[in-house]
Structure 1
Amino acid sequence: MRCVQVTGAQLGLREVTPADVAALHAIYGDPAATEHLPFNPRTPDEVSSMIDEARKEADAEPRRLYLLAATEPHDDRVIGVARLHIEADHPHSAEIGLGLRPDLWGRGLGTDLVRLILGFGFRQLRLHRIWGARSPANVPAQLAMLVAGMVEEGRVRHHVLTPTGYRDSIVHSAISDEWLGEQGQR
C-alpha cells in the first residue's frame, strides 16, 4: 500500500486504518455531522466496510480513491476525514468530501482541511481541477471552501437523493495554477 502523509498548520492527513473505525464513526455516525450528506448516519460496521474498501483502493493502479484520516499533528488523534476521488474519464480532475467531529466545529479546522486536501491533490497528485459539492444549507462548508481558495461555480438542481428527498448542490472548485499562485501570496 502506498502511504499518504500530509502536514498542515492545524491538521495532518494520513491513510485510514482499521483502528480508525471508532474515530470515523464519531463523524459518519453522528446525525449532526451527516445532516448535509446524502445518507443516514452510518453504523460502525458500515464505517469498517468503508475503510476496508479504501484500503483495497489504495493498492489500485491507477489509484483513484483516497480516504484519509485528518489528525491532530502532535498526537495523531483522528478528528476528521478527507476523501478525494479522481474521475475515471477525466484523470486530471477529482471530487473532494470532508468531515470533522462536531465538537470541533467553528475553530477553522475545516478551512485547514480543505487547504490540505487541495494541496495534496495539486502538489503531489498533479491534478488540474478539484471540486466539491455541498448542501445549500451548509454555510460552514461554504465558508471553509471559499476561505481555502475555492470558487463557487453554481447550483446543480436536484443533484442528490437524500433520505428526505432530492436536494440541490452548490459546486465549488479550484484550478491548480490559480490556487497554487494564490497560496504563494499568503
Structure 2
Amino acid sequence: MRPVEISGKRLGLREVTVDDIDALHAVYGDPAATEHLPFDPRTREEVEQIVAEAAEAAAATPRRLYVLAVTERESEQVIGVARLHIEADHPHSAEIGLGLRPDQWGRGIGTDLIRLLLTFGFRHLRLHRIWGARSPANTAAQLAMLVAGMVEEGRIRHHVRARGAWRDSIVHSALEDEWEGHRDD
C-alpha cells in the first residue's frame, strides 16, 4: 500500500489512523455536522469501526475506498473527513463525500476540500468522472460543489433514509476533460 498524502493551499489529505478517532468523532458524532449526511450521528465505537475498515480498504488490491483525514496544512490538526469510493462496475468513476467540524464552516474550506478531492481523483487516480450527492437543504454544499467546478446533474427521489424519514439527494459531478484543474499543469 502506498499511503495517500496530498497538500493543497490550506488543507491536506492523508490516511486516517487510530490516533484520529477522537478528531473524526468530532465530525461523525456531531448532530450539526451530520445534519445533512445520510446517517445519524455515530458513536465513538462506530468511528473506531470506520477507521478499522479504512485500514482494511487501504490494503485491498485493487483499492476502491479511500477514507482520508482532512488536516489544516499549517497545524496538521484534523478538521474533517473525506471519502472517495471507486465504483466496482465502473472503475473510472468515483463517489466523494465529506464532513467538516462545524467550527470550520463558512470559510471556504468545503470548496477547497472538494477541489483537493478532484485533484486527487483526476490527477493521481486517473478517474474520468467524480460525483457526489447532497441533501437538497444543504445549500452550503451546493455552493461548494459549484464553485469547485462540479455540475448539478439532478435529483434522486427518496434516495436515502435518515433520521426516520426518506430524503432526496441532489447529484453533482465533474468530468476529467471539463475539469478546470487540468489546466494548472
Report the Cα offset of residue 182 of structure 1. 5.3
Match of 1:150 in 2: 150
Deviation at 1:75, TM superposition (A): 2.1
CA distance in 1, matches of 2:77, 2:181: 30
Q: 1:183, CA displacement in angstroms?
A: 5.3
Q: State the 1:184 CA deviation.
A: 2.4
- Residue 76 of structure 1, CA deviation: 1.2
> Secondary structure at the residue paired with 2:75?
coil
Within 5 Å, give how 1:26-175 maps onto structure 2: 26-175=26-175
- Name the CA distance, whole Å, in 1 between partners of 2:183 and 2:149: 12
The one-letter amino acid paired with 2:20 is D
Q: Deviations over 1:9-67 (max 9, x none)?
A: 11000000000000000000000000011211101110010010001000100000000
**Matched position secondary structure for 2:113:** helix
Give the Cα separation in 2 of the matches to 1:13 and 1:85: 15
Give the corresponding residue for 1:184. 183
Q: Give the superposition deviation at 1:138.
A: 0.3
TM-score, normalised on structure 1?
0.96
Paired amino acid for 2:37: L
C-alpha displacement of 1:89: 0.3
- For residues 44 and 2 of structure 1, the distance between their equivalents in structure 2, rounded to whole angstroms, comes to 27
> 1:110 and 1:167 mapped to 2: Cα distance?
22
- Matched residue SS, 1:137: coil
Aligned-pair identity in percent equals 71
Q: What stretches of structure 2 of length at least 5 have no aligned partner?
A: none
| Kept in 1: contact 2:10–2:74 (CA 8 A) | no
Matched AA of 2:89: D
Cα deviation for residue 165 of structure 1 reads 1.0
- Aligned pair count reads 185
Runs (4+) of structure 1 exceeding 2 A deviation are 181-185
Q: Is 1:25 aligned to 2:25, yes or no?
A: yes
Look up the SS of the partner of 2:153 in the other structure. Answer: strand
Gap runs ≥5 in structure 1:
none
Question: 2:119·2:181 contact (CA, 8 Å) conserved in 1?
Answer: no
Q: Per-residue displacement from partner, 1:141-178 (whole Å, max 9, x unpaired)? A: 00000000000000011111112211100000000111
Q: What secondary structure does 2:41 align onto?
A: coil
Q: How far, CA to CA, are the matches of 1:120 and 1:160 in structure 2?
A: 27
How far apart, CA to CA, are the structure 1 residues paired with 2:157 and 2:84?
Answer: 23
Q: Deviations over 1:68-102 (max 9, x none)?
A: 00001112110011100000000000000011100
SS in structure 2 at match of 1:39: coil
Q: 2:164 and 2:183 mapped to 1: Cα distance? A: 43
